[in-house]
Structure 1
Amino acid sequence: MDLSLRYVRLETHPTARSRARATCDIPAGRCVLAVEPLTTSLIPEEKGRRCDACHVIGSKFKQLLKCSRCASFWYCSPQCQERQWKEHHRKLCRSYNRFISHSNFQALAAAQRVDAILLAQVIPLVFPDDNFTWPPADPSPSVGTFIDLIAKDTGLPIDMLPPLNFGKKNVPRDIVSSLFSRFGNNNFLLHSHLTSYAHGVYPLSSRLFNHSCWPNCATRYIIKSGAPVMMEIVALRDITEGEEITIPYADPALPYDIRQTALQMNYGFTCTCALCTLQRDIGQFPPPPVNQEERSRLEYEICTFALPSTRPAGVPAASTPELLTKLPRTLYPLLNSTYLPDISEQFSKASHEGQYSTALSVGRTLLALYTVLYPPNFPQIGMHALELAKTAWNSVVTQDEGSSSPVDQPGTKKDARLYLIIARGILENFGPEGDEGGPLEEIRVLQELLDEAERT
């Protein structure tokens, strides 16, 4: 397999088949590789809201056009409709509604349904002339890379899938099985501003990049009207020549045992990255204290530990989880699997209900935890810092309007500026992605509001 890429070279790996190494030093924020999808499919909640081809959101200025035959696909332009018609919809259009209404399809789990639709879309790409032989003759480079992926038992009997019929030909079951075995462990969840909205097959990314819970890269998705949604692999930190380039297949902040179970079930391997090795050696974290005074003391201490300066997330971009390594054992109860979901819910509820003092206190603790559990510059840290900055600004506005219950410190302009510095540094490193607007635009607007408030 010839892969001549600027920043990446593929080499053999003793257990993971292969790995991608950096061909040179790569600075933080650099796009290591841009990959075009083989095919994508919107999740049900996004159908009719986005263009099925380019994923642009419809609006009164860009109304989506419904396929006049199946009435199940929407497009932002005739060009998008024509492109997808040539790719696969010409084969699927007449049978699509019968396919998704089949009792076998309805019996599938939500994620399996999206995979089944992706499979139906892939078959015309692999066999454009309905010449169902395996391996396919003269495949395109993208299809060839897809066929080269490691097959894995999906755990789903192939008979559970509805029959796939294109015109007068039924797709042989062994062909369906061979293709479907390359799905679940090679698909990606597309997101806009970290909100998932579609599944996609990006064979080159699947072939190149191994998983790490402490990765040096992350994926972003570029949505442009009339164009396929590109996946970009972006460097979270400086990467040295020869270092393996990795991406996360699972959320690094999930508990160790949950990550391992998910990786084993979905991808068939046990992760031994730096984060997993450390958490395995530590073992189970004790439960958080029930006593509120003791709990508050631990929360204060983890903020002091992880956010020690006036710029709360000034953490070096380390290749290993240094903060977790140095975390005092007395703070381990805050890493218990029950604690992070609990304070995440508390922050969201308090912020949306205008309880800004509570939101800022809980949110700061959450930021400290993210700083310990996520690699430096991980986008989730930046998104949470932006939410904290907006919450701090809302508290300032509440005070300025003479609220009958003004919040105490740290609901101030200073806090908003500090959190905005964190958000900007991380999210500008991650770069523009997803739908128009989003966090980078919110940062710009909030900065203008803070600057204006400073002048008045």
Structure 2
Amino acid sequence: MSSYHSQYVVLGDHPAARSQALAHVPIQAGCALFSEEALVTTLFSTQKGLRCDYCHASSTQTRLLKCSGCASFWYCNGECQTKQWNAHHRRICKALNRFTASPDFQTLSESEAVDALLLSQFISQLFPKDDFGELVESGLLSTFLDLLPARHFDIPPLCRLKSAKPVPQELLTSIYSRFGNNNFVVHSHLNAYAHGIFPHASRFFNHSCDPNAVARYIINQSQPIKLEIVALRPIAKGEEITIPYLDPALSFETRDVALRSNYGFKCRCSLCEFSRKIQPAPPVPTGPLLSAIEEELREHVFALAGDTIILDIKSHPHDMSSLPQGLYCLFDPSYLPAISETFSKCSHEGQYEKAISTGVTLLALYFVIYPSNYPQIGMLALELAKTAWNRIVATDSSDEELLNGTKSYLRIAGQVLRNFGKEGDEGGPLEELDTLTVLLEKGDSFRRFHSLGFLFCF
């Protein structure tokens, strides 16, 4: 059974849901208030051979060796291989390649295929000796069966276990009805690479599109991947702790349909209530009118000089009640994907001036949509700082406004990402943050790297 720990969280009654996680004591922003080791995980197919299948250590950090039985699982050492072999792999190893080559498996989407393997491993781990009766009552399964079942679900194909007895259909149905809704998408540096089961985290934390906490994942060699719940802001004693089941930046219709169909509830958070009020969002204009609306958005969120953020964030940009009606069109489902694509394309292709202008607008929108210290805000601010730095280097610019703007984006990135903390693999955004901070704050280093044409890659 996965182990978990928290001195900060207790379960309490909830007026609508079955229960809620409540802060047992006052919690500070950045506090890791809950942790749990994975019960079982499965890597995306694109990550096979690039990470240890047990502890998720990267092949860039350690040499991986493949399982001699199936040649489909990879391990960083014998300890990881032995642990996963004893947990579940011994019962599916020889049948694995036949299963993944089967027509039933081949027709699955990437996400469905990952879950089919995850469920196969989970079943194997739950019933190592075909003793179905005793284990239903044991701690290994009881916490998982205590989760709420989904309303609609289809059992995916399963890898045949090395077993004389099939799992009873009624028990399999009971397990899978709780399976799909309670998996977590595991990520490193916020890049998804696996699915995992963390039953206590699923049991404790309710959803909000306006959460006060988020999940991060800790990789330690030869240990199961660990989920930690991190506070985005100070949480008062007795306040409910919520996490997002979906990205709050998804369109309201996408979130609403997914939450209703998959989880059976209507989200009443401030973001959803605001979105319902303005449905359907006004269409996005084009040309000068859109430019004027985007300028209004930036002025609503930031104190600006041109496209340079010269002050810290204004108070409560996430407060929807203060949002000017003229900005409602920016909640049209087409707008955020389009501006995100423009920023990414211009940053990659060296159109730095347009990328910076677009990036500041996108950052302002993030501050409206996401709660304070949401990690995606920090990642975008870091990308914006890297883009601004690349423009300085590429144009051999000594523009003081551009340099100050770069420092401002970096300051926002540092506040958010240091609150979120270290996640996943070595290096990543915190290392980039430190490197760029040195370049901007140390005059000698700035001139040296500037003269060498030091560019950040995206």
TM-score higher than 0.5 here?
yes
Answer whether contact 1:127 1:136 (CA < 8 A) is retained.
Answer: no
Per the normalisation by structure 1, the TM-score is: 0.92
| Pick aligned residue for 1:370 from 355, 366, 369 | 366
Answer whether contact 2:278 2:328 (CA < 8 A) is retained.
Answer: no
Q: In the alignment, which residue of structure 2 is the partner of 1:419?
A: 409
Measured in 2, the distance between the counterparts of 1:114 and 1:351 equals: 32
Answer whether contact 1:23 1:242 (CA < 8 A) is retained.
Answer: yes
Where 2:136 maps in the other structure, the secondary structure is coil
> After superposition, where does 1:273-422 map in structure 2 within 5 Å?
273-290=269-286, 292-308=287-303, 310-311=309-310, 314-316=313-315, 321-322=318-319, 324-400=320-396, 412-422=402-412
Please state how far the C-alpha of 1:269 moved relative to its aligned partner. Answer: 1.7
Measured in 1, the distance between the counterparts of 2:340 and 2:255 equals: 19
User: 2:125 matched to 1:125?
Assistant: yes
Measured in 1, the distance between the counterparts of 2:281 and 2:220 equals: 44
Q: In the alignment, which residue of structure 1 is the partner of 2:27?
A: 26
Please state how far the C-alpha of 1:282 moved relative to its aligned partner. Answer: 2.6
Q: In the alignment, which residue of structure 2 is the partner of 1:148?
A: 146
Post-superposition CA distance 1:311-365 (Å, at most 9, x none): 555255x6x941x221111122222211111110000000100000000000000
Answer whether contact 1:20 1:208 (CA < 8 A) is retained.
Answer: yes
Answer whether contact 1:41 1:198 (CA < 8 A) is retained.
Answer: yes
Answer whether contact 1:41 1:118 (CA < 8 A) is retained.
Answer: yes
Post-superposition CA distance 1:432-454 (Å, at most 9, x none): 00110010000010111112447
| Pick aligned residue for 1:441 from 416, 431, 434 | 431
Please state how far the C-alpha of 1:153 moved relative to its aligned partner. Answer: 4.1
> After superposition, where does 1:136-285 map in structure 2 within 5 Å?
136-140=136-140, 143-156=141-154, 158=155, 161-162=157-158, 164-285=160-281
Per the normalisation by structure 2, the TM-score is: 0.91
Measured in 1, the distance between the counterparts of 2:283 and 2:134 equals: 54
Task: In structure 1, list runs of 5 or more residues that go unmatched.
Answer: 403-407
Please state how far the C-alpha of 1:283 moved relative to its aligned partner. Answer: 2.3
1:377–1:312 Cα change, 3 Å: farther
1:101–1:422 Cα change, 3 Å: same
- 1:20 is aligned with what amino acid? A
1:342–1:85 Cα change, 3 Å: same
1:409–1:352 Cα change, 3 Å: farther
Measured in 2, the distance between the counterparts of 1:330 and 1:401 equals: 36
Measured in 2, the distance between the counterparts of 1:384 and 1:40 equals: 28
Where 1:250 maps in the other structure, the secondary structure is coil
Post-superposition CA distance 1:416-435 (Å, at most 9, x none): 11100000000000000011
Aligned residues: 439
Where 1:133 maps in the other structure, the secondary structure is helix
Answer whether contact 1:58 1:64 (CA < 8 A) is retained.
Answer: yes
Measured in 2, the distance between the counterparts of 1:336 and 1:78 equals: 52
Please state how far the C-alpha of 1:151 moved relative to its aligned partner. Answer: 1.8
Measured in 2, the distance between the counterparts of 1:69 and 1:282 equals: 57
Measured in 1, the distance between the counterparts of 2:377 and 2:311 equals: 12
- Identity percentage of aligned residues: 48
Measured in 2, the distance between the counterparts of 1:213 and 1:98 equals: 41
Post-superposition CA distance 1:165-191 (Å, at most 9, x none): 323332232222221111111000011
Measured in 2, the distance between the counterparts of 1:278 and 1:119 equals: 38
RMSD of the TM alignment (CA)? 2.1
> After superposition, where does 1:99-138 map in structure 2 within 5 Å?
99-133=99-133, 136-138=136-138
Q: In the alignment, which residue of structure 2 is the partner of 1:405?
A: none
Post-superposition CA distance 1:101-120 (Å, at most 9, x none): 22222232322221111111
1:77–1:7 Cα change, 3 Å: same
Where 2:56 maps in the other structure, the secondary structure is coil
Answer whether contact 1:126 1:139 (CA < 8 A) is retained.
Answer: no
The 10-residue stretch of structure 1 (392-401 or 199-208) with the greater mean CA deviation from structure 2: 392-401
Task: In structure 2, list runs of 5 or more residues that go unmatched.
Answer: 448-458
Please state how far the C-alpha of 1:134 moved relative to its aligned partner. Answer: 7.5
Measured in 2, the distance between the counterparts of 1:16 and 1:315 equals: 35
Q: In the alignment, which residue of structure 2 is the partner of 1:85?
A: 85
Answer whether contact 2:117 2:158 (CA < 8 A) is retained.
Answer: no
- 1:225 is aligned with what amino acid? Q
1:313–1:278 Cα change, 3 Å: farther
Please state how far the C-alpha of 1:128 moved relative to its aligned partner. Answer: 2.3
Measured in 2, the distance between the counterparts of 1:432 and 1:135 equals: 37
Measured in 2, the distance between the counterparts of 1:163 and 1:84 equals: 16
Post-superposition CA distance 1:288-310 (Å, at most 9, x none): 112x1111111111101111264
- 1:38 is aligned with what amino acid? L
Measured in 1, the distance between the counterparts of 2:314 and 2:230 equals: 19
- 1:43 is aligned with what amino acid? F
Answer whether contact 1:218 1:248 (CA < 8 A) is retained.
Answer: yes
